[in-house]
Amino acid sequence: MTQNQPSRRRFLGTIGLGALVSSAGCLGDVSDVVPSDDEQRPLQLTISDAGGSLRESYVTDLSQTRPERDEAAFEAIRNGTEYTTQYGTPFGSYPEDPVYTRHDGTYYRLGSVVIDEVETTHPVLRLTEASANEETASGDAAETVSAEQLPEVDAAAVRVAQMTARARGNEGGAPWGLVRRGGYVYRSDDVVEGSELVSGDAPASVTYRERRYAVEVTQETFHESVYRATAEPVAEAPDGMEAVLRAQFVESRFDREDLSTAAIDIVEQSAASEYTEAHPYSEGYRKVLRAMHERPYLDGNVAKDAGVEEDGPTILRYNGEYYDYRLRFLTRSSSGN
C-alpha cells in the first residue's frame, strides 16, 4: 500500500468542524475522568485521510514498478506461457500483501505458487565487531576499508550484516526479514560479480559509522523455492474492484449516526490531532473502539495482551469515506491529553 500524506480537512468537512470546537471544553483533561494508575498505559487514537478510493492505493501500474520483469511475467501469463522466478516472488506479491493491476478494463490479482526447489550455493557475509584498538588479522591497516569505499552491493550488505553484529548480546535483536543465517546472503550472480567482499582479495575488516568489523565470507548451500507467476481476473469494472478491496482491507465500517455525541467528539479530535485515554476508558471511547471492532483494547489487562499492537495503520470506512487509523500505547510522560 502506498503511504498517503495525512489529510484531515475532508474528514472534518464530512463530520462537522463545529462539533469539534463545541466539544473542546467537555473533552477536558483525561486525568479528570480516568484514575491515575501508572500500570495502565494511555491509549492514543489517530485518524487520517486514506484517499478517495482503495484502487488508488492497491491497483499497481506495472510499467511504473521497479523490476521490469513484472511486465514480462504478466505478458507471459496473458499469452498462456509459464513464467518462473527464483530468489524472490513474482510481482513482489505475498498472500498477506497481494498486488493488483488492470489491463484492457479487467482487474487482476497477481501472485505466485511454489512449483519446485533448487539446491544452490550463495556467499554469506557475517561481521564481528572488533575493538577500536584491535589489529587486523595480518596487522596491516590497509586491509581495513570503509563501507563507503565499497561497491554499492557490498555497502548494502554491510548495512544489513552490521545490524546482526551489533544485536549480539543486546535486547531487541535484528531485522530478521533482511538478515539470513546471521548475516547477509548474496543471492544472485550479478550481485556476486559486482562484489569486492566476496572476491579472494577481500579486506579483512570494514568500518561502518565509526565501528570496525571483521569480515567473514563463507560459501553455503541453500534450497531455493521456484515460483510460477499467476494472474487471476477478479473484476471487470472499477466498482467491482473497489468491492474486492473493501472486503479484503477495510476492518470496520460505521457512520456518524451510529455513534453517541461523546463518541463523535472523540472521533473528531482523533482526526484533528489525536485522542488519548487510559483504562478504564470513558463510555464514548469504548463506543469508538467497539465500532472499530477493537474489542481487545477494552480488556483491563490489555497492556499485557498479545497481538493488540499492530504494525502500520488500519483502514476504516466512515460516512462512506476511507480513513487510516492507528492505536498505540503511550507512556504517561508522553501523553498530552
Q: Where are the domains of the chain?
A: 9-53+244-334, 58-118+226-237, 120-221
pLDDT of residue 143: 85
The residue that leads in pLDDT, 262 or 35, is 262
pLDDT tens, 140-179? Answer: 555 889 999 999 999 999 999 988 887 765 555 666 667 7
What distance in Å separates the CA atoms of residue 275 and residue 42, rounded to the nearest whole number? Answer: 10
Model pTM? 0.69
Q: Name the residue with higher pLDDT: 11 or 66.
A: 66
In which band, very low, low, confident or very high, does the pLDDT at 69 lie, cut at 50, 70 and 90? confident
- Per-residue model confidence (pLDDT) at position 23: 38
The pLDDT score that the predictor gives to residue 177 is 64
Q: Angle CA(87)–CA(90)–CA(92) in degrees, nearest 5?
A: 90
pLDDT at 95: 75
- To the nearest whole number, what is the mean pLDDT of the chain? 80
* pLDDT score of 80: 95
- Between 267 and 189, name the one with better pLDDT: 267
Q: Which residues of 311-334 are buried (b: 16+ CB within 10 A; e: fewer)?
A: eebbbbbbeebbbbbbbebbeeee
Give the pLDDT band of residue 291 (cuts 50, 70, 90).
Answer: very high
60-76 in b/e burial notation, b at 16+ Cβ within 10 A?
Answer: bebeeeeeebbeebbeb
What is the pLDDT at residue 97? 80
The pLDDT value recorded for residue 173 is 60
Q: What is the per-residue pLDDT across 323-333, written as a single tens digit (0 to 9) for each?
A: 999 998 887 55
Q: Residue 191 — very low, low, confident or very high, per pLDDT cuts 50/70/90?
A: confident
Region 64-83 average pLDDT = 89
Instruction: Assign 3-class secondary structure to the chain.
Output: CCCCCCCCHHHHHHHCHHHHHHHHHHHCCHHHCCCCCCCCCCEEEEEEECCCCCHHHHECCHHHCCCCHHHHHHHHHHCCCCCEEECCCHHHCECCECEEEEECCEEEEEEEEEEEEEEEEEEEEEEEECCCCCCCCCCCHHHEEEHHHCCHHHHHHHHHHHHHHHHCCCCCCCCCCCCECCEEECCCHHHHHCCCCCCCCCCCEEEECCEEEEEEEEEEEEEEEEEEEEEEEEECCHHHHHHHHHHHHEEEEECHHHCCHHHHHHHHHHHHCCEEECCCCCHHHHHHHHHCCCHHHHCCCHHHCCCCCCCCCEEEEECCEEEEEEEEECCHHHCCC
Residue 312: the pLDDT is 60
Please give the grid coordinates belonging to residue 248: 479484503
pLDDT at 186: 92
Q: How confident is the model at residue 48 (pLDDT cuts 50, 70, 90)?
A: very high
Whether the CB-CB separation of 38 and 317 falls below 8 Å is answered with no
- pLDDT for 68 equals 79
In the chain, the largest separation of any two C-alpha atoms, in whole Å, equals: 75
